[in-house]
């Protein structure tokens, strides 16, 4: 069955991206909120009571980073502003996302087999990077364990080139519900790679 893996494109040229690399509180907040709702760029669109509950829990868990309640409120307000500005500057960024919900193992195995058939060297390693990233978000601020995976622009470009060659119907037939489920997830994931490559974006990754 496998774990659930969540993906969201992020523009490296955005001020949000720049701040994520140098401000631990904002980075930690994005990491903590990433699995909720319909992606980080839509987090504040979910039920306000749920938003408050999640934020309170995050702040309490990482109180040493956020400090006072006033400071925590400032960081949250600044993140909201950055998300809003990023959505305005990069139209559609909130929808450039995908998830492999309990399908990552099956998709990874099928893709590795297909790349091996096509004579790709180290097919398993290629697929692992495509799924979980070749870097981490803000490596100078956060440990690998507390961070998100990051698919670099180079890997996004390489991945798009590889995935563009793959016939999804060949990987997954629709004659069984499970196969159709994997096919749908694979196609959305591939489409994310293609759109992110077209727009020179990177992709954040979380395992939930």
Q: d(Cα 26, Cα 22) in Å, to the nearest integer?
A: 9
Sheet hosting strand 149-151, strand order edge to edge: 97-100, 5-10, 202-207, 149-151, 135-136
| Nearest one of 186, 182, 189 to 156, comparing CA atoms | 189
**9-38 per-position pLDDT tens digit:** 999 999 999 999 999 999 999 999 999 988
pTM for this predicted structure: 0.94
Alpha helices in 120-208 (DSSP H): 123-132, 153-163, 168-171, 177-198
Q: What is the token pair recorded at 14? A: 């955005």
**70-104 per-position pLDDT tens digit:** 999 999 999 999 999 999 999 999 999 999 988 89
């Amino acid at each position: 069955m496998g774990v659930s893996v969540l993906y969201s494109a992020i523009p490296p040229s955005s001020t949000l991206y720049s701040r994520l690399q140098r401000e631990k509180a904002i980075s930690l907040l994005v990491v903590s909120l990433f699995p909720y709702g319909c992606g980080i760029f839509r987090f504040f669109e979910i039920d306000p009571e749920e938003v408050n509950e999640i934020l309170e829990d995050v702040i309490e868990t990482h109180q040493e980073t956020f400090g006072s309640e006033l400071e925590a409120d400032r960081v949250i307000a600044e993140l909201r502003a950055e998300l809003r500005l990023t959505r305005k500057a990069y139209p559609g960024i909130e929808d450039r996302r995908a998830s492999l919900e309990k399908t990552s193992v099956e998709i990874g195995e099928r893709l590795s087999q297909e790349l091996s058939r096509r004579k790709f060297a180290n097919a398993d390693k290629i697929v692992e990077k495509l799924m979980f990233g070749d870097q981490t978000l803000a490596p100078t601020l956060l440990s690998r364990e507390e961070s998100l995976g990051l698919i670099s622009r180079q890997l996004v470009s390489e991945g798009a080139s590889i995935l563009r060659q793959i016939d999804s119907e060949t990987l997954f037939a629709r004659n069984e519900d499970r196969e159709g489920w994997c096919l749908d997830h694979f196609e959305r994931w591939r489409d994310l790679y293609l759109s992110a490559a077209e727009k020179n974006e990177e992709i954040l990754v979380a395992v939930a």
